[in-house]
Structure 1
């Protein structure tokens, strides 16, 4: 079975289903990014402060406390499970687009690496590996770029005439 470019030949009803799914998925994904921006200032030190607290900073505008074991395990568990499902579905859609094989493989595999580095990195940061905040920041950025690129490609090819 030829998968490369299959998305272009799908029936209109399936294309509408995929389009509606990708729109809602994108709203959820980018809302999550807004939340990250609000809670961690979207920078390495803000990430560190969000998970490790800032009790020692007498000048802090908002007092934060180190996340508990339960909070961290819940966060890592929920995000790894949900993001792996999200990227499995997006990767499945990317697999039926018409793309260069190497780019397609990158867009399909990279998000899984970024999910592991981002949320595994948050856990390592929480247990004291402070330099992981830079890995978390970079992998989160790369995950977002990959998600955005994948969804743009899916949309462009979804409504392309066969």
Structure 2
């Protein structure tokens, strides 16, 4: 079954999707807040979050290198949960009547960014510190895709019917 336009969804389904997207957004942006708190959203902060900062005598908060067990736990839980989140969001984007190239980008890019971000974090932990910039770029693209996808789904379901 091919869904070409989600404006045809019945109102109860639109409401379910709307509430889901609000809850999903609260979770996503609270996670971004947590990332900012633990890394200061900069390259040094990301490296210190995973590799520790014991050698920095001026550090305000002492951090220690994460264990292999901690890293595997962080990486596998994030990759699994975020792949499901972005798969569901991709299904919703698929129902939007937007340019096919944009639709494909919004459906696929976040999944690639999940791999780059968390694969990069693992490499940072293994002392490949230049991966910090890849992690920051892929995380930024992932977030931008998330925001555009959410707005596209809302626009397509509700505003598009009123703005013609």
| Residue 3, structure 1, aligned to residue 24, structure 2 | no
Two-structure CA RMSD over aligned residues (Å): 1.0
Which range moves more in the overlay, 152-161 or 72-81? Answer: 152-161
1:148 paired residue number = 147
Unmatched 5+ residue regions in structure 1? none
Cα shift at 1:156: 1.0
Residues paired across the two proteins, number: 161
TM norm structure 1: 0.97
1:50 paired residue number = 49
Q: Output one character per residue of 1:37-79: Cα deviation in whole Å (capped at 9) or x when no partner.
A: 0000011111001100000111111110000111100000000
1:51–1:126 Cα contact (<8 Å) kept: yes
- After TM superposition, the runs of 4+ consecutive aligned structure 1 residues lying more than 2 A away are 1-4
Q: Output one character per residue of 1:107-146: Cα deviation in whole Å (capped at 9) or x when no partner.
A: 0000010000000100011011110000001000000000
Cα shift at 1:3: 2.4
1:105 paired residue number = 104
CA distance in 2, matches of 1:123, 1:37: 18
Unmatched 5+ residue regions in structure 2? none
Q: Map of 1:2-151 to 2, 5 A cutoff?
A: 2-5=2-5, 7-151=6-150
TM norm structure 2: 0.96
Cα shift at 1:150: 0.2
CA distance in 1, matches of 2:62, 2:45: 12
